[in-house]
A = this chain, B = another copy of it.
Amino acid sequence: MFRTHHCGQLRITDVNKTITLSGWVAKRRDFGGLTFVDLRDRYGITQLSFNEEVNADLIQHARQLGREFVIKIEGLVTERSNKNSKIPTGDIEIVVHSLQVLNVSLTPPFTIEENTDGGDDIRMQYRYLDLRREPVRNNLILRHQVAKHVRQYLDQLDFIEVETPVLIKSTPEGARDFVVPSRMNPGQFYALPQSPQTFKQLLMVSGFDKYYQIVKCFRDEDLRADRQPEFTQIDCELSFVEQEDILRIFEGLVQHLFSQVKGVEIVQLPRITYDEAMTWYGNDKPDIRFEMKFNYLTELTKGKNFPVFDAAETVLGICATGCATYTRKQLDELTEWVKRPQIGAKGLVYVFCQADGTFKSSVDKFYTQEDLAEWAKVCNAQPGDLLLLLSGDTKKVQKQMSELRLEMGERLGYRDKTVFKALWVLDFPLLERDEESGRWHAMHHPFTSPKPSDIPLLDTNPGDIKANAYDLVINGVEIGGGSIRIFDKQLQAKMFKTLGFTDEEARYQFGFLMNAFEYGAPPHGGIALGFDRLCSLFGGADSIRDFIAFPKNNQGRDMMIDAPSTIHSQQLNELGINLLGN
Do B575 and A179 touch across chains, with their CB atoms under 8 A apart? yes
Q: In this assembly, does A367 line the interface, its C-beta being within 8 Å of a C-beta of chain B? A: no
Interface residues on A, range: 35 or more
Contact with B along A209-221 (1 / 0, CB 8 A): 1000000101010
| Shortest CB distance A51–B (Å) | 25
Interface residues of A in 249-267 (CB under 8 A from B): none
A457 close to chain B: CB less than 8 A: no
A166: CB under 8 A from chain B? yes
Q: Within 8 Å of chain B (Cβ to Cβ): is A176?
A: yes
Which A residues, 204 to 245, have Cβ-Cβ distances below 8 Å to chain B? 205-209, 216, 218, 220, 222-223, 229-230, 232, 240-242
Number of copies: 2
Query: Which residues on the B side are within 8 Å of A523 (C-beta)?
Result: 2, 70, 102-103
A548 within 8 A of B: yes
What residues on B are CB-neighbors of A516 within 8 Å?
128
Given contacts A103-B521, A164-B549, A488-B103, contact A208 B2 (CB under 8 A): no
Cβ contact of A555, chosen from B148, B184, B576, cutoff 8 A:
B184
Encoded as 1 (CB less than 8 Å from any B CB) or 0, chain A from 539 to 582 comes to: 00000000011101001111011111111100101111111110
Do B561 and A187 touch (CB < 8 A)? no
B131 near A208 with CB under 8 A, answer: yes
Chain A, residues 143-185, CB within 8 Å of chain B (1/0): the string is: 1100110010001000011111111111010001111111111
Residues in A14-48 with C-beta less than 8 Å from chain B: 22, 24, 40-43
Tell me the complex Cα distance, A229–B233, Å.
23
A137 within 8 A of B: yes
Query: A1 at interface (Cβ–Cβ under 8 A)?
Result: yes
A512, B184: Cβ atoms closer than 8 Å: no
B68 contacts A519, C-beta separation under 8 Å: yes
Instruction: Tell which of B189, B206, B222 touches A129, judged by Cβ atoms closer than 8 Å.
Output: B206
A344 interface residue per 8 A CB criterion: no
- The listed residue (B148, B162, B571) touching A179 by CB distance below 8 A is B571
| Docked complex Cα distance between A562 and B182 (Å) | 13
Q: Tell me if A305 is interfacial: C-beta within 8 Å of chain B.
A: no
Known: A106-B518, A216-B216, A577-B580. 19 other contacts (CB 8 A): A42-B207, A43-B209, A70-B521, A102-B522, A103-B523, A137-B208, A164-B549, A164-B550, A167-B229, A167-B230, A169-B562, A170-B567, A182-B564, A199-B550, A202-B550, A202-B560, A511-B562, A512-B560, A512-B561
